[in-house]
Amino acid sequence: MSRFASHPPMGYTFPAREQRGAMAFTHIVFDLDETLYPRDAGLMQEIGRRITLWVQQSLGLTAEEANSLRRSYLRRYGTTLGGLIAEQQVDVDHYLAFVHDVPVERYIQPHPALAAMLDSLPLRKAIFTNATSEHARRVLRALGVADRFEQVVGIRELDLCNKPDPKTYRRLLALLDARAEDCILVEDRAVNLRPGKRMGMTTVLVDGVSEEGVDFVVEYVLEVGPLVTRLLGRGRYGWRLPPGLGGMRGG
């Protein structure tokens, strides 16, 4: 059973960054997989297995060779698909259909606390994912939050250009009709926050450690709600909740 905090703990500490007064934002943009739900849900592990299987079968490789090639592509291109497009002849539609052909509901359940947190955010909400928008909508429906998002921007909407390529973020902003400085970007991978930060977005890392390109770190996605409340009302500060408090865990 998942565990949720009913409210954030008192007594945050706020190391000063830029004391500029209340920030004005129009959009909050969330990554999908392992940002809106925990890493240990198992969904991305199953998708990863299917990616390896597709590479193995399509390129005639052993499982070990396929995994090695995937790791190389992830380092160089950000995703396996990015590497396949750059270096192989790939049927993109077949690849995307195959790797996302998983029973999402086996891994993801409705999440009322997430819905409530999203409802508390007085901003336009969008999904920004390297997966397909069809996969994203399945996950959002399984979580019970599909109607909370105004836009779902997936790999096809990004013209098959994936995070962390800077072109992807410019395309996102064009689709949102928004300025970078008006957006909060929420991700579980710091490497995918850095291009947004360089463009002027305010960045939030979920379940990670602070590093270059990260303005704020939260342990769980539910803590984005109180963070945004403080950004809108109290200015820009760096902070992190004490470990073990708030949020959600799978299990």
Please write the tens of the pLDDT for every residue from 151-182: 999 999 999 999 999 999 999 999 999 999 99
Is 201 found in the same domain as 122? yes
Extended beta strands in 66-196, E state: 124-128, 151-153, 183-187
Which pLDDT does position 22 carry in this prediction?
Answer: 59
Is 138 found in the same domain as 67? no
Q: Pick the more confident residue, 225 or 248.
A: 225
Distance between CA 124 and CA 190 in Å, rounded? 23
- Over residues 52-89, the pLDDT tens digits come to 999 999 999 999 999 999 999 999 999 999 999 999 99
- Over residues 2-55, the pLDDT tens digits come to 222 223 333 333 333 344 445 789 999 999 999 999 999 999 999 999 999 999
Is 188 found in the same domain as 72? no
What average pLDDT score do residues 104-127 get? 97
Is residue 104 one of the residues assigned to a domain?
no
Is 82 found in the same domain as 19? no
Q: Is the distance from CB of 13 to CB of 228 less than 8 angstroms? A: no
pLDDT over 60 at 146, yes or no: yes
Is 19 found in the same domain as 80? no
- Lookup: tokens for 160: 């098959």
Range of the domain at 66: 41-99
Per the structure, the count of domains in the chain is 2
Is 148 found in the same domain as 69? no
Is 128 found in the same domain as 192? yes
Distance between CA 72 and CA 81 in Å, rounded? 12
Distance between CA 125 and CA 117 in Å, rounded? 12
Predicted TM-score of the model (pTM): 0.84
